[in-house]
Amino acid sequence: MLQKAYRGSPERRCGMSKELKSCPFCGCRSHIVWESRKIGHAVQCRQCVALGPQCPSKSEAITAWNTRAGEKV
């Protein structure tokens, strides 16, 4: 019964396990994570609607978004 590990922000509720970096375009930290069997997974900024790379898994989509944020890993 330890399902309350998430801190309650909307973008964590969908089971996200990785931290999303702020948007490379507008710098906001509010994101949507798309999950579609057709287009795959992608992260999108809520504010400027920038869409990250589409990936076969959520984890890859998040990694791709973070990479795209321009910070060197």
| Footprint of Zn ion (CB under 5 A) | 23, 25-26, 45, 47-48, 50
The CA distances from residue 40 to 6, 32, 60, 61, in Å, are: 24, 14, 10, 9
Nearer to Zn ion, 16 or 45 (CB): 45
For residue 64, count CB atoms less than 10 angstroms from its CB and return exposed for 0-12, middle for 13-18, buried for 19 or more: middle
Least spacing, CB of residue 46 vs Zn ion, in Å: 8
Least spacing, CB of residue 66 vs Zn ion, in Å: 14
Least spacing, CB of residue 30 vs Zn ion, in Å: 8
